[in-house]
Amino acid sequence: MTEASAPPKASSAPPKASARQLCVVVPTFNERDNVPRLLAKLDAALAGIAWEVIFVDDNSPDKTWDVVRGLSQSDPRVRCIRRIGRRGLSGACIEGILASSAPCVAVMDADLQHDETQLPKMLGLLQAGEAELVVGSRYVSGGSADSFGSTRLGGSLFATKIAKGLLHVDVADPMSGFFMIRRDRFEQLAPSLSVQGFKILLDIVATAGGKLRVVEVPYSFGTRLHGESKLDSMVVLDFLGLVLAKFTHDLVSLRFLLFALVGGLGLLVHLATLYIALGFGVQFAEAQAIAALVAMTGNFLLNNRLTYRDQRLRGGALLRGLLLFYLVCSVGLLANVGVAFSVYDQQPVWWLAGAAGALMGVVWNYGISSLFVWRAK
Ligand code: GDD
Ligand code: MN
């Protein structure tokens, strides 16, 4: 045999696959029992359409990703993205949409609360050029959210009002988690979208600033089949953060807002501890140091729960993070006590000195911790 110097002959053309028209992106977290059911429903609803489904799973403890991979083995229309070390509904949707080459992309929940039988109609609207974004809407005539309790329905409607008023969003149901968009339009907007939070549709509509042609299709929000909702009280905070970010044209980010919030609380904790310690007759310098330690621990735990909950440290990592937090902030603590002490030296006003020291420490803590403690993986 002669040495093969020429490049290998193209062995064969890629297998003939009819061009995909539609990709359905399904974010999942602990949905293993719902996934096979959803797949069967998509299969029935999308007959005659060249489609694929991408499940974007944030490393679910119930191993939803494993179930998806199993389905994918026997059905090439099924794909799985397993994300490790990340959490977030919006981020998962963005990643799934950008992983597809289909011209039209839908986002829907895994738990069968969204109505997959609307998908062909939604696709038709996009393909006919009547819309660039089709929203599955609970709040246009024909739609409903009967499965919502009155509290959640009230909250949803109130949030919708705020979004429409502040962000000039002209969509009846901008909080919907069910929509279909042209991928080329999405790719234009993607760099400006927030990966944190739950409200990706609101983000899309607000970011597009009225430049997307939107059509709403009514549907009834059903009841969840298996498992439970992942939306907790945090969703309110997420929502406010998104509105704030969009309202200020990204001047104020959600993380910044949470930083400031936790910082403010930390200051209160610090002053309260200082007050109590002084009441117990502790010397000022020691009292200030104790107060700083208490505030730092509180700040760490709260930031871990709120500010960085998408990169939340747990178990051993939590302890390591806390120790690292102490370590990188020990300089800040020294500066804190030093500043406070010198202020107190000149003017023995405990709260002024305490606040000056705490402020010094808090600014330092945030800067360093975002670099070293919760650094994105
Ligand atoms: N990958 C990933 N990561 N998926 C997630 C995460 C996450 O952090 N959190 C939730 N999900 C998945 C769930 O597994 C589910 O498939 C879907 O996102 C929606 O989450 P639910 O927990 O079922 O939310 P919900 O039913 O209370 O609210 C949904 O519907 C509302 C009405 O359309 C959400 O889509 C809301 O944004 C929407 O307003
Ligand atoms: Mn749900």
**Residue 227, pLDDT score:** 86
Q: Is the CB of 178 under 6 A from ligand 1?
A: yes
CA proximity to 168, closest of 202, 199, 200, 191: 202
* Ligand 1 pocket check for 229: Cβ under 6 Å: yes
User: How many other β-carbons are positioned within 10 Å of the β-carbon of residue 269?
Assistant: 19
Strands in the chain per DSSP E? 22-28, 51-57, 78-82, 104-107, 133-137, 179-182, 214-218
What mean pLDDT do residues 25-50 have?
A: 97
| Predicted confidence (pLDDT) per residue in 320-357, tens digit | 999 888 887 778 878 888 999 999 999 999 999 998 88
Residue of 158, 217, 230 best suited for mutating to test ligand 1, as the one with most atoms within 8 Å of CB: 230
Q: Does the pLDDT at position 2 exceed 90? A: no
* Residue bearing the CA closest to ligand 1, atom 29: 177
**pLDDT tier at 12 (50, 70, 90 boundaries)?**
low
Residue 1 — very low, low, confident or very high, per pLDDT cuts 50/70/90? very low
| Mean pLDDT value across the chain | 88
- Give 67 or 239, the one with higher predicted confidence: 67
Task: Tell me how far apart the alpha carbons of residues 265 and 299 are, in angstroms, rounded to a whole number.
Answer: 8
The rounded Å distance from CA 231 to ligand 1 centre is 7
Element spanning 51, H or E = strand 51-57
Q: How far apart are CA 356 and CA 341, in angstroms?
A: 10
Average pLDDT of the segment spanning 168-179: 92
Q: What is the structure's pLDDT at 10?
A: 54
The share of the chain scoring above pLDDT 70, in percent, equals 94
CB 133: neighbour CB atoms within 10 A? Answer: 24
Q: From atom 30 of ligand 1, which residue's Cα is the shortest distance away? A: 177
- pLDDT confidence of 206, banded at 50, 70, 90? very high
Helix, strand counts (H, E) of the chain = 12, 7
In this predicted structure, what is the pLDDT of residue 307?
Answer: 87
* Pocket lining: 56 vs ligand 1, CB cutoff 6 Å: yes
- The pLDDT value given to residue 375: 76
Ligand 1 atom closest to Cα of 178? 33
pLDDT at 250: 75
CA distance 296 to 321: 12
Which ligand lies nearest the alpha carbon of 176? 1
Ligand 2: centre distance to CA 251 (Å):
32
Q: Which atom of ligand 1 is nearest to the CA of 198?
A: 37
Mutate to test the pocket of ligand 1, among 81, 109, 112, 217 (most ligand atoms within 8 A of CB): 109
Cα(176)–Cα(107) distance, integer angstroms: 10
How far, in Å, is the centroid of ligand 1 from the Cα of 66?
A: 19
Whether the per-residue pLDDT at 78 is higher than 70: the answer is: yes
Model confidence at 8: pLDDT above 70: no
pLDDT in tens, 267-318: 899 999 999 999 999 999 999 999 988 988 998 999 999 888 878 899 999 9
308 lines ligand 1 (CB under 6 A): no
d(CA 113, ligand 2 centre) in Å: 6
196 lines ligand 1 (CB under 6 A): no
Q: Which residue has the higher pLDDT, 106 or 364?
A: 106
Collapsing DSSP to helix, strand or coil, 59 comes out as coil
Specify the pLDDT at position 257: 74
Q: Which amino acid is at 304?
A: N
Identify which of 63-72, 147-156, 257-266 has the greatest average pLDDT. Answer: 63-72
What whole-number distance in Å separates Cα of residue 318 and Cα of residue 218?
A: 45
Higher pLDDT, 109 or 334: 109
**pLDDT(144) > 80:** yes
Rounded-to-integer distance, Cα 148 and Cα 210, Å: 29
- Say what the pLDDT of residue 197 is: 77
Distance, in Å, from the CA atom of 192 to the CA atom of 194, rounded to the nearest integer, reads 7
To test the pocket of ligand 1, the residue of 24, 29, 151, 180 to mutate (highest count of ligand atoms within 8 Å of its CB) is 29
Distance from residue 29's CA to the centre of ligand 1 (Å): 8
Least confident segment among 11-25, 68-82, 151-165, 186-200: 11-25
Q: With 90 as the cut, is the pLDDT of residue 178 above it?
A: yes
Mean pLDDT of the 11-40 span = 86
Q: Which residue has the higher pLDDT, 148 or 84?
A: 84
**Could you tell me which of 94, 313, 113 has the C-alpha nearest to residue 222?**
113
Work out the angle at residue 107's Cα, subtended by the Cα atoms of residues 104 and 113, and round it to the nearest 5 degrees.
140
Is the pLDDT confidence value at 177 over 70? yes
Q: Measured from the CB, is residue 309 less than 6 Å from ligand 1? A: no
Q: Relative to the alpha carbon of 235, which ligand is closest? A: 1
d(CA 360, CA 357): 5
